Each structure stands twice: as structure tokens, then as C-alpha cells.
Structure 1
Amino acid sequence: MPLLRGKKPAVTAGSKMPKLSENQLPGCVLQEEGPQVKRSSSPPHGAPKKRTAFIDITNAHKVQISLPGRKKKEAAKKQVKKTSAPSVSTKNHDNLKKSSSESSEGTPAEEEEKEEEAAAAPVEELVAAAPLAVCEVPAHHQKQQIPAEFDVDSENAEDCYMCPEYAKDIFDYLKQREEKFVLCNYMPQQPSLNPEMRAILIDWLVEVQENFELYHETLYLAVKMTDHYLAKTPVHRELLQLLGSTTMLIASKFEERSPPCVDDFLYICDDAYKREEIISMEANILQTLSFDINIPIPYRFLRRYAKCVSAGMDTLTLARFFCEMSLMEVELVSVRGSLLASACLLLALVTRDLGGWSPILEYHSGYQAADVAPVVRNLHEMLSAPPDDKLKAIRNKYSHKVFFEVASLPLVSGDMLEEVLSQ
């Protein structure tokens, strides 16, 4: 129980309070009832000196903090006051006398207000006389004006989590950042791997994402990190699952609020690897990628572009199905995320008979219909191929009612697709 200054603590019957000496409580003074005595600020004889982090607040009025450039500003102010202050203050003083003689009926409060205005007048006149420095913002730093017909963020003006003021700038930055993470087909550099092994790994990662109920962003980022690591380092087929589980662990730490622990990934790998091996692989991946794992993923662009056309949840889910199926194809690794998202959305719009590539999509994505058409054709060819019975995690996932059973929808015919792409 804290001790109140000026009052004795109440002691109940049977209780004992040990007597604390001053040596046991250095710096604490127990005052008894009666008049309070002012405590001296000087330390007692033999006691250590007081050490404060910044300044002693009891002497704050005596301390002057010198900031860089402050002396020059103060000297300039003093020089201005010497030249202009006497004449202005004399003028104000005469005006004050004149006004007081003319209006003798004023109250003392009004006279005090007039004196305060007169005292503040020199500063106001100096501020008014000083020229204001106007800095012109460079053209490349000025905020981009979005046309009214393409403005999709004003409706979220009251939602700070949607960042309506910077949404367009954020996705433009992500699109520029994609150029740093462009990949090519790295399979010829992997003597122990082939595209089928990579597809098996992606299919297994989809199951991991479902079992742990992770975000879709975590899955896409894990696949991106896996591809970037394989593009730089040869990996034996026996370590491919270790690579995939470790990239999923890193992506979970980056995206999830409560990521799974290392023991969870050891469990899903059926204890095929040791804890030290996952930790060592994690450090190896981060060093190989130079700790730059904020890789733009197509899933983020897909949600943005779907918002631009006010696509329904069923249409967005169909586009997500196409985008997740594209993760299995090593030929689409070299396609930028924003372009792949544009192609998946366009294919979903055509499948739903909701039109083609509109001007608002062209404005926000930066791609024209001719840029998106080749990727759409590759996606249609991939989806038209007979499914592999061994790799059915994605199709089973999107055959659920939660995902509107979009995996069972018939694919648009090639003739209808070409008709829309040729417009």
C-alpha cells in the first residue's frame, strides 16, 4: 500500500510494519503529521549526486537549450528590433496616449487590452513587412489529379484504412517496383528439378495455406520467394519441400498477424527435416534475396482492378481461381504480377459476359488490351488442358460453396474470347 505524505498509515491489530531506516530507502522521506518542511534540493553529505536524463525540472527556468542555427536567428531578430522597434513603439505609445485622452470613459480592462495590442503591434508589423518565401513543388512531386470518371477511391474518403488519398500512388509504386523482380524460366539451371516437381510443390503449399487458414497473400509471396531463390541457387529435389515450407514460414511472418511456429511446419513435413535445418534454410533464403522480400504479387493488383470495374464477389473469385491456377505454370513465372492480374480479370469478365477491357482499367493498370491479350490466350490454353488427377488442390478448393463453386463453371470458348480481344 503506498504511503500518503502527511498522514500515518493505519495499522490494524495484529499487523506489524517493519521499520525502514533511511539507508534502506535512499531519497525517501516519511513525514509525520504537522507542518510540512521544505526539502532541500541539495543531496545529503556522502550521498551520490542526482543524475537526470535531460535536465532538472526544478531548474528548468534557468536552463537554456542551444539548437543549431538558433544563435544566428536570435542575433538577426535583435538587429531588426534595434532598427525598427524604437520608432514603432514610440508611435504606438503616442497613439495609446491619444486614445486614452480622447476616451476617458473606458474601463481598466479595455485599457489593458489596448496596451496589449500596442505591445504586440511591433511584432505584427515586422511579420507583415517580412516577405514570405514561396516554394514551388516540382512537377514530379505534385499529386496526380485523377479524372472524375476514373476516381474509384473518393467513395472511401471517410475510411482511413483504405488510404483513399494515396491508393493510386501506392499501386503505381508497386507497379514500378515490379521491374526489380522480373524473372525468366530458370528450370534449365536446375539439373535436379523439372516443372512437374515445382507444380507438386505449389499444390502442396495450397493445402498448407488451407490447413493453417493463412491469407492468400501469404501463399503468393511464398511462391514468389521460392521462384526467386531457385533462379539464383541450384536446389536438390530432396530439399525442395524444405525450401517451400521455409518460404511459407517467412511469408507468414511477413503477412500474418499470428504466424505458425517452426514446430508447425516440422509437423506438416512429417518430421522429414530438423528444426536446425529450417532455421538454416531461412537464413540462407533471406541472404540470397538480400532481405528484400516485399515482392509485388498479382493478388493485390487483382483486387484493385476488380474494384475499378465494381466486379462482384463471384467475378473476383473466378479471377482468383484463374490467378491461383497460373502459379502452377512455370512458363508464367516471367509475367509481371500486374499484367497477370489484368489477364485473369479480363478472362473472368469475358467468362461472365461482363464486357472487355474498359478505359478505367486501362487508366489504373497502365495496360492496353493489346498488352493483356497474349497472357489471356496463355491462360485460356492452360485452363483448357485436361486436369491432372494428382494436382487437384486448387480445383478442390474453388469447388467449395464458399468460393461460389467457380472451378466447375464452363470456360469461355476460344472464338468468343478472340472476338472480345479483337475489339
Structure 2
Amino acid sequence: MACSRRTKERTPLPRERTPLPRNAKMLATKQTRAGKVGPTAENVDPEKEENCYAKRSSSSPQGGPKKRSAFGDITNARKNQLVAGKKEAVKVAPPKAQKAQGTLGVAKNNEINLKKSMKKTPPKAPSEPEVDPVPEKPVPVQELKPPKERLPAVEDIDKEQLGDPYASAEYAKEIFEYMREREEKFMLPDFMEKQPDITGDMRAILVDWMVEVQENFELNHETLYLAVKLVDHYLVEVVSMREKLQLIGSTAILIASKFEERCPPCVDDFLYICDDAYKREELLAMEMSILSTLKFDINIPIPYRFLRRFAKCARATMETLTLARFLCEMTLQEYDYARESPSKLAASCLLLALTMKNLGGWTPTLEYYSGYSAQDLHPLVKRLNFLLTYQPRDKLNTVRSKYSHRVFFEVAKLAPMDMLKLEKALTSC
């Protein structure tokens, strides 16, 4: 008995007992006969309905349509059925009424009343916009896709590291877009014009010494690049003398070490590398001067970070990346490259390294993530190859001796490309 009661309780109501809407008996019977869609279709889960629609339209070249188009077709079909039912009720009802009553007077009265109502209220022109017409030809889904989806050759480079909590792959694209925006804020002007006692050669000597400090203390490359940026931005605002230039450079390394390193060197270490030329109070005063002049905004975009990002897009080997780093570090000494955009400089160094290694040109993935086409980088690539070929500063060879070590794959010993071959390789890619 218990089982029979449970089955009775679980037995669904028959479809004939479901209440029908008012004045829609003919519409309900026609819908159930033609499409076998009863009033219970309103209770269908929208997600299930969307899945069914996607399966029916699997022949589309872009796959199933989007949610918006799918739900729009469902609502249009439902509204069109209701509108069609009303029209059929208006047209079919008078003949049935004529047969039932057997008189023509009722039909005439109905026509008169219908004409009066048509004059008072417009037929259906105002209400038609409420029902979206079903397009005869489906809208191509490709027009509604964002630019990234329209490029089939673009690869998602952060997909492989989504599970790594230290990689921040979910925010990597937004982080580098933010750094690209900050590039505009930190573009350097020609500040050597207002420095009466400092020249570009003095700046090159200072940077060469800073590279040596980075090696001796085994600091990160990000620390070196940021320290050089701090020196340049400080000299934009403050006129300095040549005897203070080394103090500015060592203090910039101290600030960059605090920003980038896990265990930065202490103040006494920097006093030691300066051969006790400055006192402790002078170093601390210079630190306060640099930070206050830059308003403590020292998160300056550097080309080294962009270079590592772009090398990941190209899936470059460590040797190719090291060659690009060598090219990029060579530009630190040159004042002419200090005013270049960090992202553009990094992209140009990578393109020259790929060309020197004969590893192909600028792919759509690199163009998408870097924001530069190959034609945008060609002038800067030629300048970099010219710098590598003629070596304007032979006496300042700290960077070359550093990258001539086998730890860095001896990339500094590679022969530069011939300018004509480089021109041909750039035009062909």
C-alpha cells in the first residue's frame, strides 16, 4: 500500500488537465497538433532550451550561436505564435459565428465594429516593434566576436600557467596593459640640454659601473634597469654636478634593490663600493632627495619585463632570450635609446635576436600581445644592429665581457648581421 501511495503521489497530472489560457482553445489545439508544444513549454529551463538550440544549429561555420541570439529566436518564435493565434482567431471566428447563427447581420455588425476600432486604434504598426522579427538570414557570428577571437593564429600564452599561484596568469594580460599605459607617463625628454656639467659619455661611464655593481652583488636584472631609470628621471628634475653622479647612481641601486630584491644590500655595502667617497649621511640624504623628487612613484616600466613577456609569446629558447637581453642591456649605456619606449625597445631586441638566429619573423601572437607590427619595429631593429656592429664604446666593455661568459651562452661573441641581409630578412617576414 505504501508503494502504491508513493506512485500515486509521484504520478504527474495528465496534460489534458493543464489549464488553458482564456479564448485560446483553438490556438492551443493547433499548437499541440502541429508542433506538439503545450502550455507546459513555458516551464522549460532556459539553459536546456539554449543547449537544444545550439545542437540544432551545429551546422554554423563558427559553431553554436551566442546566448543572446539563441534566446532572441526563442522569444520571437513564442511571440509570433501568439500573434498568429490572435490573427487566426479574428479571421476564423466570424465564419463560425455565421454558420452557428445563420444570419448575416452579426457579420455586418462585426465588420462595422472592427472598422471603428481600426479608426480609434492603429492596426498593429505601433505594437509591432515589441516583437523582434526573425531575420531571414542569420547574422554571422564572426561580426560579434572580439578582435582576439577573429585572429585564429593568436595563441593564449597564459593558458598553461593558470593553475600556478605564483605566475598570476589570470591577471598577466591586464598587468602588462597597465604597464603600457604607464609608459606614456615616464617618457624621458632630452634632459642633457639643461645639465651643464654632465654629458652623455659621463652617463655611459656611470651605467657601465652600475652593471659591474649588479654583477658583484648578484642582483636581479630588473634592479639594474630600474636603477638606470631612476637616475635618468632624477636628472630630468634636478641639475647635478659631475662629482655627485656616482652618489646618484649608487643611491639609485639602493632604492631599486629595496623595490626588487628579497634581501637588498645594506647602506655600508654601497659606501664600500664607492670607496668611501661619500658619507653615510650623504647617501641617506640623496635617497630622500630622489624619492621626494619622483614623488615616491618608482614603479617605472622597464624593457626587461616586456622582453621576458614577448619571449614567452615567441616560445624562444633561453639562448635566444639571452641574446635579446644582451642587445637590450647594450642600450642602457646609450643616451639615444633612453628616450625609447620600453615595450618597443624590448620587441625590437627580440625581433633582431630571432632574425640573427634565423627563427622566423614577427608572428600574429607577438603582434597581438606586444601591440607592434613588424613594420613598426624595422627602424629600431636596424639601429640596434648598427650598434652591435660598430661598437661605439670599446673601452666600456662590462656588458660585453659579462655576456661573453658561458653562463650567458657567450652570445656577445656572435657576429652581427650584414645590413643588406638584415634588410632582406625584414622585408621578407
**Aligned twin of 2:316:** 311
**Aligned twin of 1:347:** 352
C-alpha distance in structure 1 between counterparts of 2:189 and 2:206, whole Å: 19
Following superposition, the deviation at residue 169 of structure 1 comes to 1.1
Whether contact under 8 Å (1:249, 1:260) holds in the other structure is: yes
Deviations 1:255-300 (A, max 9, x none): 0000001000000000000000000000000111111000010000
2:386 to 381, 384, 387: 381
In structure 2, do the counterparts of structure 1 residues 318 and 367 end up closer, same or farther at CA, with 3 Å as the change threshold? same
C-alpha distance in structure 2 between counterparts of 1:251 and 1:302, whole Å: 19
In structure 2, do the counterparts of structure 1 residues 407 and 387 end up closer, same or farther at CA, with 3 Å as the change threshold? farther
In structure 2, do the counterparts of structure 1 residues 281 and 200 end up closer, same or farther at CA, with 3 Å as the change threshold? same
Query: What is the SS of the residue equivalent to 1:150?
Result: coil
- Code of the aligned partner of 2:375: A
Whether contact under 8 Å (1:184, 1:333) holds in the other structure is: no
C-alpha distance in structure 2 between counterparts of 1:275 and 1:164, whole Å: 42
Correspondence 1:176 to 2:178: no
**Aligned twin of 2:301:** 296
Correspondence 1:394 to 2:399: yes
List aligned pairs for 1:6-405, cutoff 5 A: 149-386=154-391, 388-405=393-410
Whether contact under 8 Å (1:219, 1:251) holds in the other structure is: yes
Whether contact under 8 Å (1:185, 1:333) holds in the other structure is: no
Whether contact under 8 Å (1:201, 1:241) holds in the other structure is: yes
RMSD between aligned residues: 2.0
Query: Which consecutive unaligned segments of at least 5 residues does structure 1 have?
Result: 1-101, 104-142
Following superposition, the deviation at residue 145 of structure 1 comes to 6.1
C-alpha distance in structure 2 between counterparts of 1:386 and 1:308, whole Å: 30
Following superposition, the deviation at residue 420 of structure 1 comes to 2.4
C-alpha distance in structure 1 between counterparts of 2:329 and 2:375, whole Å: 23
- Code of the aligned partner of 2:425: V
Following superposition, the deviation at residue 374 of structure 1 comes to 1.5
Q: Which has the higher helix share?
A: 2
Alignment coverage as a number of residue pairs: 286
TM-score with structure 2 length normalisation? Answer: 0.64
- Code of the aligned partner of 1:296: P
**Aligned twin of 2:11:** none
Whether contact under 8 Å (1:217, 1:255) holds in the other structure is: yes
C-alpha distance in structure 2 between counterparts of 1:233 and 1:378, whole Å: 30
C-alpha distance in structure 1 between counterparts of 2:246 and 2:174, whole Å: 37
C-alpha distance in structure 2 between counterparts of 1:169 and 1:150, whole Å: 16
Query: Which consecutive unaligned segments of at least 5 residues does structure 2 have?
Result: 7-145
Following superposition, the deviation at residue 386 of structure 1 comes to 3.5
C-alpha distance in structure 2 between counterparts of 1:231 and 1:171, whole Å: 26
- Code of the aligned partner of 2:322: T
Query: What is the SS of the residue equivalent to 2:234?
Result: helix
Query: What is the SS of the residue equivalent to 2:237?
Result: coil
TM-score with structure 1 length normalisation? Answer: 0.65
